[in-house]
Amino acid sequence: MTDPRPLLMIPGPIEISPAVQAAYSVPPPSHTAPDLIEAFGTCLERMRRVWRAEASAQPFLFAGGGTAAMEMAAVNLLEPGERALVVATGYFSDRMVEMLRRLGAEVEVVRAAVGDAPSPAEVAEALAALGRRGPVKALFATHVDTSTGVLLDPEPLAGLAREAGVLSVFDGVCATAGERFEMAEWGADVYLTASQKALGLPPGLALLVASERALEARAGRRAAAPPMALDWHEWLPIHRAYEERRPSYFSTPATNLVLALAVGLEEILAAGMEARWEVHRTAAERLRTAWAELGLKAVPVRPELAAHTLSALRFPEGVDAALVGRIAALGVVVAGGLHPAIKSEYFRVGHMGYAVTRPEMLARTVRAVARALEDAGRPGDGPAALAALETTAAAG
Ligand SMILES: *Cc1c(COP(=O)(O)O)cnc(C)c1O
């Protein structure tokens, strides 16, 4: 059985479900068409449920990517000269630092070695140190850093921020709907993502949910208004209108993607959030065992730091980035390195969304990686790696 189309196993864009693809693949509706209004309103309601947010939290959804969602959070919350702490775990946290500096914020960074993450105690210390210089406005952290495959636990960080009266913002671009996140229970203020990662859609949408506190920070702003296209004050009436099923216009939404999102979120919620997180966790654990059978070591330095949405894997000795091309030649697209410090030393395999519900996709991926390693002269135990996909690895 050969599939002529390569399997897309990078950390986004990813394989999407047939139902999502069908919803997307229609002639573009108007942004004021009744079915579009219904889908938009439904998306906002479903976002609150997927984000596990309070009824008072406000979802935003607009044409853009993860970077635009990061920027929307930054420009609405930070005024020039205000202080922010970034918990840095890789390439995307560094992008956040640069973004905040461009806004004129005073940014402090707490970072760990590549593959590691600062502990909550280190973050608390950094927050306290920054607080001695004056009030701190916000703490930013990346839930899963896609460049290192490092997973952070947002719960203690959101708690620390809350205690200190600081807003907490989590970049969930490679995590949302794939890793546990409890926005209301943990007291997080912004959780943002893009459509093409664990949400399981084509690229093109930026999504975030903002807490009441975050909205109040924008409302109480003293500096000039943020750039218009990202300003919550422009977008709030539009989102409220859609949720009340009224037509509205500020900037044209990506209408086909909105239709697809309503279906994608429905699929996620039909399984239930616990089941959705669990299927990612199980797939990740099985793959982790498979990679070990193939002699591959992970970039995250401890198992509990390894994301459930992607694997960042070091090339074995004697193997270089040509491995990625060998895997592609076998019909599976994986990604090369991204973190500048180790870029040529590792590769990345995405395992989120539709693919983690399709054992044959995971098997095809492991088979291709196993064969490519063999071709590169570093064979692992291919049969054992494939067998690992059939059984749940021992916990811990
Ligand atoms: C992919 C990614 C981004 C950037 O998203 P784009 O849609 O490419 O702009 C930001 N943060 C994280 C953690 C990501 O994985």
Decide: helix, strand or coil at residue 88: strand
Ligand 1 within 6 A of 350 CB? no
Ligand 1 within 6 A of 21 CB? no
Ligand 1 within 6 A of 88 CB? no
302 in Cβ contact with 89 (< 8 Å): no
Q: Which of 142, 197, 230 maximizes ligand 1 atoms within 8 Å of its Cβ, making it the mutation to test the pocket?
A: 197
Ligand 1 within 6 A of 66 CB? yes
Please give the structure tokens belonging to residue 131.
């607080």
Ligand 1 within 6 A of 174 CB? yes
* C-beta atoms surrounding 383 within 10 Å: 10
Q: How do residues 165-200 score in pLDDT, each as one tens digit?
A: 999 999 999 999 999 999 999 999 999 999 999 999
**In the prediction, which pLDDT does 2 show?**
55
d(CA 125, CA 348): 32
**In the prediction, which pLDDT does 391 show?**
77
**In the prediction, which pLDDT does 394 show?**
47
d(CA 37, CA 259): 10
What burial letters (b/e) apply to 3-24, b meaning 16+ CB within 10 Å? eeeebbbbbbbbbbbeebeebb
**In the prediction, which pLDDT does 4 show?**
76
pTM of the model: 0.97
> How far, in Å, from the CA of 65 to the mean position of ligand 1?
7
Q: How do residues 42-93 score in pLDDT, each as one tens digit?
A: 999 999 999 999 999 999 999 999 999 999 999 999 999 999 999 999 999 9
Ligand 1 within 6 A of 173 CB? yes
Provide the β-strand partners of residue 191.
Answer: 170, 209
Ligand 1 within 6 A of 92 CB? yes
d(CA 354, CA 17): 6
Atom of ligand 1 minimally distant from the CA of 143: 13
Question: Cis omega (within 30 of 0) on the bond before 13?
Answer: yes
Question: Is residue 395 predicted with pLDDT exceeding 70?
Answer: no
Instruction: Tell me what the mean pLDDT of segment 316-344 comes to.
Output: 97
Ligand 1 within 6 A of 65 CB? yes
E strands, the chain, are 7-8, 58-63, 83-88, 106-111, 136-142, 144-145, 150-151, 167-171, 190-194, 205-210, 297-298, 310-314, 332-333, 335-336, 346-350
DSSP state of 33: S
Q: How do residues 8-36 score in pLDDT, each as one tens digit?
A: 999 999 999 999 999 999 999 999 999 99
Decide: helix, strand or coil at residue 196: coil
Q: Which residue do the tokens 């995971």 mark?
A: 362
Q: What angle do CA 174, 332, 204 make, to 5 degrees?
A: 40
Question: Is residue 1 predicted with pLDDT exceeding 90?
Answer: no
Please give the structure tokens belonging to residue 336.
């090369």
Q: Which of 174, 176, 352 maximizes ligand 1 atoms within 8 Å of its Cβ, making it the mutation to test the pocket?
A: 174
Question: Is residue 246 predicted with pLDDT exceeding 60?
Answer: yes
